[in-house]
Amino acid sequence: MMPNENMNEPIKVIIADDHVLYRAGVKTALSAKKDVKVVAEADNGMHLLNMLKMIPVDVILLDIQMPIMDGITALPEIKKLYPNVKIIMLTMMDDHSMITKLMEIGANSYLTKTSDSEIIYEAIKTCFEQEYYFNSLTNKALLTNLKQRHEAPRSIHPEANLNEKETLILKLMCEEKSTKEIADLVDLSPRTVEAIRDKLKVKTGAKSTAGLIMYAVKNNILDEEF
């Protein structure tokens, strides 16, 4: 009998990091978890992209600094080819502008390499189930960035001229509603909701869901009444 993908199969993880000892440490720690399985290891972004052609994966632990192709270069390439794969960036640096940039181009979380194995496990599970794993690092970076944007001149897309349905869908996205939940609430098909979400990205200039949420906060869309 085929195992139930959602219930019984472990979350498939690839670790991309050029430090063999770090990969080994994380792999050993995660091997104790029944619902997570490290299916492959890569030592640079190019190696990882080649692996992804052959190995199905749910979550990637992606180091920012690697030779040949680093994590920052690999991230948008992976998201373009495999939009449903969740990517957790790993780094030694606590850099707010870097965190925000990575979240805007598609990262699902950001951890320092000093994070213990339980945090890494929690981030993998949360990203797989809920798309994003926010922690004090990501929250502080996003808030700092929003504050700076409020104080800076308006962005290139200050007024995206969203219609009422687009605004409502964006508001529901900010409330962490799933595509299906939004579809039920606004009486549209999930496919139509996804099309509107793509249109919102074009109108606002956002590159990801995180970017859309940041746009909504910056433009006070959460305060609008319906």
Question: What residue segments make up the domains of the chain, in order of their start?
Answer: 11-145, 153-223
Top CATH class of 153-223 equals mainly alpha
Inform me whether the pLDDT recorded for 156 exceeds 60. Answer: no
What is the pLDDT confidence band of residue 8, given thresholds at 50, 70 and 90?
Answer: confident
DSSP β-bridge partners for residue 88: 61, 109
Q: Please say whether the beta carbons of 131 and 103 come within 8 A.
A: no
**According to the model, what pLDDT value does residue 223 have?**
63
Q: Please say whether the beta carbons of 50 and 5 come within 8 A.
A: no
**According to the model, what pLDDT value does residue 157 have?**
46
Q: What is the CATH number of domain 11-145?
A: 3.40.50.2300
Long-range contacts of 23-26 (CB under 8 A, 24+ apart): 25/117, 26/61, 26/117, 26/120
Residue type, 149: R
CA–CA separation, 101 vs 219, rounded Å? Answer: 19
Q: Give me the chain's average pLDDT, please.
A: 82
CA–CA separation, 91 vs 177, rounded Å? Answer: 30
Q: How far is CA 31 from CA 17, 36, 222, in A?
A: 18, 8, 42
Q: pTM of the entire structure?
A: 0.63
Q: How far is CA 222 from CA 23, 90, 97, 189, 226, in A?
A: 41, 31, 24, 23, 11
- Better pLDDT: 204 or 139: 204
* One fold for 11-145 and 153-223: no
169: enclosing H helix or E strand: helix 164-174
CA–CA separation, 30 vs 113, rounded Å? Answer: 15
CA–CA separation, 143 vs 125, rounded Å? Answer: 24
